[in-house]
Amino acid sequence: MRTNPALIAMLAAGLAVSACSKKPPAQLPPDPGGAVSTETPTASTGPTPGSQADFVATLMGQDTILFDTDQYNIDSADQAALAAQAQWLAKYPAKRATVEGHADERGTREYNLALGERRANAAKNYLVSLGVDAARIATVSYGKERPVALGSDEGSWARNRRAVTVTID
Amino acid sequence: MRTALLTLVLALSASPALAQTAEPAPAQTAAASAEQAIDVTDDSDWQNQTIAIPAFATNADVPTRTSAGSTAALGNALAGVITADLQNNGLFKPTGPGALPRPALAQIQAPEFGGWQARGTDMLIQGFVRAEADGQVTVGCYLYDVALKQQLAKAGWTLAPGEWRRAAHKCADMVYSRLSGESPFFDSKVAFIAETGPKDRRLKRLAIMDSDGQNFTYLTTGQTTALTPRWSPDYKSILYLSYFNGQPRIYILDPATKSQRLLLSARNPLFAPRWSPDGQWVLYSMAQAGNTDIYKITAAGGSPVKLTDSPGIDIGGSFSPDGSRIVFESDRSGSQQVYVMNADGSNQKRISFFGGRGATPEWSPRGDQIAFTHIVGNLRVATMDPSGGSLRYLTDDWQDEAPTWAPNGRVIQFFRTARNTGRTSVWQVDLTGRNLRKLDTPVDGSDPAWGPLRP
């Protein structure tokens, strides 16, 4: 599929305005440990363009999309975030990314692994529908094993039901 | 749980050697209300059966290579382990060596019945320890009915010094099965995931321990996250999930050498590995484009056979003990529910219809029950029969999941997660649900997988 950065930019702008059902998390997810390597930019002037740090800085929380309990559908807020991700990926066509799917702690371990995969895959499919080459996007699921919010309450669970896109430096 | 107890009670009363034991009280159950009638809680006769386990005697108090110390110290430790085994199941009222006189070697096969009777002892377990010239230890175990002044059972074992606790578990197994009519289960091991570190950075390592939580050993270093282990029926291998480069894959690890091999390689995430009862097949799930299905493959490798093909997550299969059927969970109906199919994937039928969600089904080694996680807000360990009837809760806490059966199908271990901290612990409960206890593992633990009786 051909990428059209202008179209993606328009989509992103339009959807960002209409999005209101879910807020991106205030706190960024932890770096994903051994799964990918994340380099810290050396220059004090800001992240290297095209780096994961640049991706995180550019997306301002939109590297993460959130899901309702047991759900994996992409709602309007998710669409806006994914469009912003696709825009960045269109700008750096050599970059690859991994979408990490997660679940909240209120489910069984194995099911949540599969549920996280399903969420990561839903995010990937949407990125592909926006013109990102499917071969550039890998998916991984951590189920409930890597929460970003540590409480056992609705607010924490809502933040943990997520798919996080991490670009590969 | 009521069935289990009733069986035990009947087995007891049918045993001629135990004819003096208090009668089960059928009149009481008959007179009670319907609700009480099926709830045979009056097992106090059982729990009141007193068992004395004095320190095992020895022919000579000499050093051993066991962790317990000299033969005399070992004799004391053995009696302590047996006491703990019998105590933790709520069926007996054992008294350990600390509160009892230590018999002399000559008394092991000729107990002072009068003295034990005066103490109010119903059953007496005595034994001896002997150090062998080659460093091994021999342990003898005898069970006596004090009132009848009769020996009910005896057995002996010669073991390597590092295996001394096995003698105690085998002795406890002999006593348990002789008095209850049930199959033994103490001499078995549990594989599980040892957890350390903060909630968002848990280190998850494969580990093993004896059924009572002792002899804890790590099998992996923690460089990759390990989850959901299962013992092979011969104890020679452990199937488990390990994250390699961030991708969950299924490995088979040899606990003796700690070497492992990748069972099968796929670009897709692999989950929920399970052995068939004969160890010839491995069930697993593979996610493909958001859809997870169950497959089987021979343990040696080869071509996978796809067993389910539904839009949705099919995961967590468990074979019936005869290998003919598989119980699994699927959200094809919209939420996690428990299904049964034939071992070739045919005749898939939902069996859970009691509201809430059903997950992690495990077929009992006896075949009569399926243990699972029932989710209605909280996660609870429950059992049902293979047609989905007779739902019973065994636990009632915030988050209990992933039951695993003792080899005799009468006791269950599972793991509990604490609210907020995310700390995990391995727990054990019998089928009455009343004898619940936490295993004393040196670090947090999850995903217990109980192996069969040791060969």
Residue B188 β-bridge partners:
B453
Helix (H) or strand (E) holding A126: helix A109-129
Task: Sort out which chain A residues have CB atoms less than 8 A from B360's CB and list them.
Answer: 108, 110
* Window B:169-228, CB contacts with A under 8 Å: 198-202, 204, 223-225, 227-228
How many Cβ atoms sit within 10 Å of the Cβ of residue A75?
15
Residue spans of the domains in chain A: they are: 5-168
Q: Does the beta-carbon distance from A151 to B331 stay under 8 Å?
A: no
> What's B283's domain CATH number?
2.120.10.30
Same domain, B146 and B284: no
Residue B281 is encoded by which pair of tokens?
Answer: 């097949």
**Tens digits of pLDDT across chain A (169 residues):** 444 554 454 444 444 434 344 544 455 444 444 444 445 545 557 899 999 999 999 999 999 999 999 999 999 999 999 999 999 999 999 999 999 999 999 999 999 999 999 999 999 999 999 999 999 999 999 999 999 999 999 999 999 999 999 999 8
Q: Do residues B165 and B214 lie in contact, with contact meaning Cβ atoms separated by under 8 Å?
A: yes
Same domain, B150 and B192: no
Same domain, B3 and B68: no
The domain tally of chain B equals 3
Helix (H, G, I), strand (E, B) or coil at A81: helix
- DSSP letter at B329 equals E
A166 touches chain B (CB under 8 A): no
pLDDT of B233-253, one tens digit each? 999 999 999 998 778 999 999
Q: Which residue has the tokens 């006189």?
A: B101
Predicted-complex ipTM score: 0.87
Residue A100 β-bridge partners:
A140, A164
Q: Does the beta-carbon distance from A114 to B243 stay under 8 Å?
A: no
Task: Sort out which chain B residues have CB atoms less than 8 A from A36's CB and list them.
Answer: 246
pLDDT of B201-236, one tens digit each? 999 999 999 999 999 999 999 999 999 999 999 999
Q: Which residue has the tokens 């034991």?
A: B21
B266 touches chain A (CB under 8 A): no
Instruction: Give the Cα separation of A71 and A69 in Å (integer).
Output: 5
Q: Which of B153, B180, B207 is the last residue of a domain?
A: B180
Same domain, B119 and B194: no
Same domain, B37 and B55: no
* Parallel/antiparallel/unpaired status of strands B50-52 and B93-95: parallel
Q: In Å, what is the CA distance from B44 to each residue of A56, B47, B284?
A: 64, 5, 44
Nearest CA in chain A to B286: A114
Instruction: Give the Cα separation of B450 and B410 in Å (integer).
Output: 12
Helix (H, G, I), strand (E, B) or coil at B47: helix
Structural domain span for residue B16: 1-48
Task: Sort out which chain A residues have CB atoms less than 8 A from B246's CB and list them.
Answer: 32, 34-36, 98, 140
pLDDT of B263-312, one tens digit each? 887 888 999 999 999 999 999 999 999 999 999 999 988 899 999 999 99
Q: What is the pTM of this model?
A: 0.85
Same domain, B126 and B162: yes
Q: Which of B139, B157, B180 is the last residue of a domain?
A: B180
pLDDT of B80-127, one tens digit each? 999 999 987 777 899 999 999 999 999 999 999 999 999 999 999 999
For domain A5-168, the CATH class is: alpha beta
Same domain, B215 and B107: no
Helix (H) or strand (E) holding A160: helix A154-160
